[in-house]
Structure 1
């Protein structure tokens, strides 16, 4: 059985016959292109006691040089956004819509504050909530603000 496998392996045409030669060609081509020049050799990576004291002194990491204060450099490159603009003043109709919304929530949670029973307070609260939300939706702008100028940017 082993003999058949060995013969089948020799007769196989799936791969190249001399893999070692092809691998050596690939490595030589990469070395010509300069790949791996900055990599450590295997001999340099392993500590060897046969080297002299001069070589051992080179293995010690050099002390880092005094670097300028990194914080000063980082602070220069850090983006500080401008202050956001103040919130706009709410109009009376917006305040009325928000008042209806709050009234609807209070009627839904505690109708007894107004002397109502829950069976009367719940429908009233739903009407107040819907009226407040609807009023806010109807007041939304579809146009740019009047002070936006001629360049209104990209609009979808």
Structure 2
């Protein structure tokens, strides 16, 4: 049987995925846009975790929000990074080494593990005053506690 095309992937009979074009699986967790991608060496997962409030809106929160970022960065798991983007959105990224072929099951497993591991970090960012609503960049809506997957 030939490969079956599913979104950005070619699916082999054994379930292994091969990128047909730049693969990305997008999902929402706690009202935030997340993305899973993979290349030859790793599976990458990202989340728009929050945004530093604007000075005009909540100037008193900004120093604590920046301090929280400084405290959080060294406490992240191995392979994770925190990035402050030029527009003051905060992105968390995780890079996991690939082990063999990536299957749909393995990719979803990595997405779920990432989402669950995010919770304490998202809680800390929220308590420091970071704006979760401004973090959404893919039009994911805003809110709820569940998740949604888009390919």
Same fold (TM over 0.5): no
Higher relative CO (Cα under 8 Å, sequence separation at least 6) belongs to 2
The structure whose residues are more often helix, as a share, is 1
TM-score normalised by length of structure 1: 0.23
> Which has the larger strand fraction?
2
